Amino acid sequence: MTSKERTAGREEASVQRFHDAQVYETYESNPHLEERNRLLISNLPEDVASVLDVGSGPGVFGRAVAATGRRVFSTDLSIEGLLTGPPHAFQSSALELPHRSREFDLVASLEVLEHIPDELLNPMADEIARVSSSWLLIGVPHRENLLRNHLRCPSCGSRFNRTGHLQSFDSQRLGSLFPDFETRWSQVCGPPVRDYRAPLLWMRHNVARRFSEMSGLGGNICPQCGQTTFPEFRHNPLSFALDGMNKLISSRRPYWIIELMERKRP
């Protein structure tokens, strides 16, 4: 297997769950996504006429931007996502975008980079930056504890993040991926999530043997063996007590961080 084939395989594996159309069922009429779109569109620079939405999925963001009169193009590795109708859709790897350098006024990538393995993260960020003439709009989960959403495969026993998240970001790390750009606007927003204190989470996983509450909701794929059937989550007395303790000592905070970046001038 060539290096290029291995790279393609790693990228494909990182988005495996998005080849299931069921994953996209919650995207439409999602009030948090609708509110996010209103926030982002109100902060788009006036000089942005063309937009590339990288990792567009069903195009919730792209359609909202297109409604403002801007030209929007959508790309994703998942055919299932593209079949739902994002504007001017085409299938492409974000590692090899079929566009000229600096072809678009703004390139958006929302909830994509957290899915990317370490060895592909910087090359993908470089490719996203390459095709932007002026602006980037990047959104990811904010300071996510990747263990919080772990599942244990009932078949092979491996543990993995059920949403396929492999990276955790704060503003500093996000900015470091795009050294030729400067952050002009940053916002922490989105649905409220509760942090889970590390010692309590360790006990929940290793003593109570309870993992993500979303185990039985479907759309789960074990990256090791391909298992897709997971039992419905049920508390035991210890996991119930640990959750109660965590609620007493932790608070909720917004889920996303979104940054608008401008290309640095010579």
Rounded Cα distance, 197 and 187, in Å = 24
pLDDT tens-digit series, residues 144-187:
999 999 999 999 999 999 989 999 999 999 999 999 999 999 99
Rounded Cα distance, 33 and 48, in Å = 21
Give residue for tokens 């290309």.
263
Tokens of 34: 């609708």
Region 206-218: what's the mean pLDDT? 92
80, pLDDT greater than 70: yes
Higher pLDDT, 217 or 86: 86
| Residues 55/62/180/120 CA torsion (nearest 10 deg) | 0
Rounded Cα distance, 43 and 23, in Å = 28
Rounded Cα distance, 246 and 197, in Å = 7
pLDDT tens-digit series, residues 111-133:
999 999 999 999 999 999 999 99
Give pLDDT, residue 23. 62
With bands split at pLDDT 50, 70 and 90, how would you rate the model's confidence at 29? confident
- The answer to which of 4-13, 27-36, 86-95, 178-187 has the lowest mean pLDDT is 4-13
Give pLDDT, residue 1. 55
Closest to 88 in 3D by CA, of 105, 73, 106: 73
With bands split at pLDDT 50, 70 and 90, how would you rate the model's confidence at 220? confident
Give pLDDT, residue 218. 77
Percent of the chain with pLDDT over 70: 89
Q: Classify residue 110 by burial, with Cβ atoms within 10 Å: 0-12, 13-18, 19+.
A: buried
Q: Structure pTM? A: 0.90
Can you name the residues that pair with 179 across neighbouring β-strands? none
Exposure b/e, 195-214, CB count within 10 A at least 16 = b: bbeeebbebbbeebebbbee
Which sign does the torsion angle of CA 22, 28, 30, 34 carry? positive
Region 76-98: what's the mean pLDDT? 91
Output the average pLDDT for the chain. Answer: 91
- What size, in residues, is the chain? 266
Rounded Cα distance, 64 and 59, in Å = 8
- Give phi and psi for 91, each to the nearest 5: -85, 130
Give pLDDT, residue 12. 53
Segments making up each domain of the chain, as ranges: 3-146+164-192+254-263
CATH number of 3-146+164-192+254-263: 3.40.50.150
Query: SS3 for 89?
Result: strand
Give residue for tokens 């350098």.
101
Rounded Cα distance, 72 and 19, in Å = 23
